[in-house]
Structure 1
C-alpha cells in the first residue's frame, strides 16, 4: 500500500498516511481539525544513471 506525505497549511503539521489507490485523499488535519491539508509531492526515488537507458545508447541494428 502506498504511503502519502501530507502537510497542513494552517498549523504546518507534517504526517504520512498509508492509503490504497482507491481511498480518498486526507483533507482534515488530525492535529488542528482544519480542512487545510494538502499532499506533499517529492522527486521520484529512482534515478537512471550511466549508459544503456536512452535510445541513442544502443548499438546499431
Structure 2
C-alpha cells in the first residue's frame, strides 16, 4: 500500500498515512479537526541502472560502427 504525506493548512501538522489507491484522500486534520488537510507532493528519486543511458553505453564497438 502506498504511503501519502499530508499537511494541515490550519495548524501545519504533518503526518503520513498508508492508504489504498481506491481510498478517498484525508481532508480532516487528526490534530485540530479542521477540514484543511491537503496532500504534499515531493519529487521521486530516479536511479538509472544498466546499459543504454549514456552515449558510451551503446552495444558493439564504437570505432567499427561510427565513421
TM-score computed with the length of structure 1 as normaliser? 0.79
Aligned match of 2:40 = 40
What count of residue pairs does the alignment treat as equivalent? 59
The unaligned stretches of length 5 or more in structure 2 are 61-67
Question: Which structure exhibits the higher relative contact order, with contacts defined as CA atoms closer than 8 Å and separated by 6 or more residues?
Answer: 1
- The structure richer in helix per residue is 2
The unaligned stretches of length 5 or more in structure 1 are none
What is the CA-CA distance between 1:52 and the residue it aligns to?
1.8
CA RMSD of aligned residues (A): 2.2
The 5 A counterparts of 1:1-61 are 1-48=1-48, 52-53=52-53, 58=58
Select the structure of larger CA radius of gyration: 2
TM-score computed with the length of structure 2 as normaliser? 0.72
